[in-house]
Amino acid sequence: MAVVGLAHARLHAVPVAPSHSLAQQPRPPALAARALREGSPVELNQADAPTLELLPGIGPALAARILASKREDGEFHSVDDLLRVRGIGPRRLDALRPLLTVTHRRDGGSDTGVNAGRLDLAPGGQGG
């Protein structure tokens, strides 16, 4: 069996376009993390478990309960709907409110966490 040596072989550098493999592309949790850093809220009805786990106070178990609630009870119509999830009370909801938004409502409107579930009690408002 003969061994062929490469001592006399010429190697040419060939320019190669940058690879765009899946490993190099941002994954949804990475996009959500960037959005949070930039001050953009996370869309609650579109968030997956890894995205929810980026939020303060939400670990794997609570993320699973949020997704189960969405699956069993339907989409969230406001950020306040998170109160139906065991483990989310008023204090935790207040911490999450500025980080979340809900844009998939029946009326087609959006409900940011800042105004979620609050009534307009100003004169002429709908509260009351």
Q: What is the CATH classification number for the domain harbouring 97? A: 1.10.150.320
Residues of the domain holding 70: 29-112
User: Which residue did the predictor score with more confidence, 31 or 124?
Assistant: 31
Q: Take residue 88 and report the two structure tokens written for it.
A: 């989310």
Half-sphere exposure of 113 (CA within 13 A, CB side): 19
In a domain, 67, yes or no: yes
In a domain, 53, yes or no: yes
Segment 31-50, tens digit of pLDDT: 667 777 777 899 999 999 99
Per-residue pLDDT, 103: 85
Backbone φ and ψ for 38, nearest 5 degrees, come out as -85, 0
Per-residue pLDDT, 42: 92
In a domain, 123, yes or no: no
In a domain, 119, yes or no: no
In a domain, 121, yes or no: no
Per-residue pLDDT, 57: 93
Cα–Cα distance list, 39 to 35, 63, 96 (Å): 6, 21, 13
In a domain, 117, yes or no: no
In a domain, 23, yes or no: no
- Cite the DSSP H helix spans in the chain: 28-37, 49-52, 60-73, 90-96
With a cut of 70, say whether residue 122 has pLDDT above it. Answer: no
Give the whole-angstrom CA distance, residue 74 versus residue 104. Answer: 11
- Domain count across the chain: 1
> What does pTM read for this prediction?
0.59
In a domain, 82, yes or no: yes
